[in-house]
Amino acid sequence: MDNLLDNIKSILLMGPGPSSVDPRVYAALSRNVLGHLDPYFLTIADGLKELLRRIMNTKNEFTIPISGTGSAGMEASFVNLVEPEDDVLVLTNGLFGVRMQEVARRLHARVDALEFPWGQPVITEEVEKAVRRKHYKIVAVIHAETSTGVRNPVKEIGSVVKGTDAIYLVDAVTSLGGMDVSMDAWHCDALYSATQKCLSCPPGLAPLSFSEKAMAAVKARKARVPNWYLDFTMIADYWGRNRVYHHTAPISMIYALYQALLLILDEGQEAVFSRHMRNHLAMVEGLEALGLKMFVDKPFRLPMLGTVVVPEGVDEGAVRRRLRSEFDIELGAGLGPLAGKAWRIGLMGHTSRQENVSRLLAALERVLQGTAREGVTLEIDPPHRPDQPARP
Ligand code: PLP
């Protein structure tokens, strides 16, 4: 029988995740599987908790990888914290904020959405007014809104939430490993991420951390956590000293995440963040030289994900299809109101390299010349070369 896996090509992953995986992370995935209660595996698991604390900049004891993708981190956060009739404030400026609202509503929380336009950041002063008006159990926000490419001011929002007794929940799915995430300094009580973005692992784990305050809220619940698989009161018994079996830990993914975090810490977090910023700026410069426009204003752009406006007359999907079939490059499509109107270009983790920026720009220039809708002539500015006079 044919093995479909033999035909997997190496695609340069420049969408909103997953990102390219470092060969050393692939090597970690192929190491011998140990038992999930094996003493040496537990040593690795403890080592992973410590690495996660370092990358999240937290001292929280309960800092673990949740089995499942980023959505499992989101679901686990809400399902452990929310009880019916709890008041929850979700700061929303994109699809993942909307998803947070949905998750909280299914748990019968009373959800207030503080909405901001897609493509604009959350405004801290508005959050301040909202938390003064009403007492919330949870205030939740997305750090890096992957649907739009906007960075939200999580640190500033944290200073506002700190003045209340609300639990501050931050989604760091796209930001962790590509920009500063300082959980304790931001007065953040609960934070989750995912492995397939700037951590450059395959998808499958959701790194998560709960502060003592957040864990106290879980312990103080009137009723048990309604979801057995994600119940932290039980999961804490496996990841803590007791080592009580709850579910089988995804051993190979834990090796992969451990290796990926070591790579980031060996390169140095500051150096990793600068690399992301440098390559982002180079990409924006190249895109603008091609006549393209960024969707988000400069101060709010993410270093790991750029949203690019599809020019009038260009078939958004056709460009992506040609990049994939002729150049082995994957870009992301726009979501929600941005569907058909934007590309999302990821420069996350191992993908964030100078040669990938150059490869994409060269391919995009070729494809754009030939992908205007029938009857439309597309004017694309050729990149400015130093030996030629600049265009006005
Ligand atoms: N939160 C944000 C900000 C995301 O970008 C994503 C996925 O892209 C998720 C949550 C959900 O993560 P996953 O698709 O890994 O379940």
pTM: 0.94
Q: Which two tokens stand for residue 371?
A: 């992908």
Residue closest by Cα to atom 5 of ligand 1: 146
Quote the CA–CA distance of 187 and 293 in Å, as a whole number. 36
Quote the CA–CA distance of 329 and 10 in Å, as a whole number. 9
Any domain includes 7: no
Max alpha carbon distance in the chain (Å)?
Answer: 72
CA of 99 to the centre of ligand 1 (A): 10
Write the CATH number for 140. Answer: 3.40.640.10
Any domain includes 346: no
Task: For residue 65, list its beta bridge partners.
Answer: 207
- Give me the mean pLDDT over the 191-220 stretch: 98
Q: Is 374's pLDDT higher than 80?
A: no
Quote the CA–CA distance of 211 and 191 in Å, as a whole number. 9
What does the pLDDT read at residue 370?
Answer: 74
Q: Confidence class of residue 31 from pLDDT cuts 50, 70 and 90? A: very high
Any atom of ligand 1 within 6 Å of the Cβ of 146: yes
Q: Confidence class of residue 371 from pLDDT cuts 50, 70 and 90? A: low
Any domain includes 18: no
Kindly write down the DSSP assignment for every residue of 100-130, as one continuous string.
HHHHHHHTT-EEEEEE--TTSPPPHHHHHHH
Any domain includes 189: yes
Q: Confidence class of residue 337 from pLDDT cuts 50, 70 and 90? A: very high
Atom of ligand 1 nearest to the CA of 71: 16
Nearest C-alpha neighbor of 348 from the set 286, 297, 280: 280
Any domain includes 111: yes
Any domain includes 385: no
pLDDT digits (tens, 9 = 90+) for 160-196: 999 899 999 999 999 999 999 999 999 999 999 999 9
What does residue 146 show for φ and ψ, rounded to 5 degrees? -65, -20
Atom of ligand 1 nearest to the CA of 17: 8
Quote the CA–CA distance of 355 and 362 in Å, as a whole number. 11
Enumerate the H helices of 172-250 as residue ranges: 212-219, 232-239
CA of 205 to the centre of ligand 1 (A): 11
Quote the CA–CA distance of 286 and 302 in Å, as a whole number. 16
Any domain includes 338: no
First to last CA, the chain: 61
Nearest C-alpha neighbor of 332 from the set 310, 301, 299, 303: 310
pLDDT digits (tens, 9 = 90+) for 55-83: 999 999 999 999 999 999 999 999 999 99
Q: Confidence class of residue 241 from pLDDT cuts 50, 70 and 90? A: confident
Any domain includes 365: no
CA of 296 to the centre of ligand 1 (A): 20
Nearest C-alpha neighbor of 174 from the set 77, 114, 95, 116: 95
Q: Which two tokens stand for residue 216?
A: 């106290």
What does residue 359 show for φ and ψ, rounded to 5 degrees? -65, -45
For 172, the domain range is 23-266
Q: For the chain, what is the domain count?
A: 1
Any atom of ligand 1 within 6 Å of the Cβ of 174: yes
Atom of ligand 1 nearest to the CA of 142: 3
E strand or H helix that includes residue 65: strand 62-67
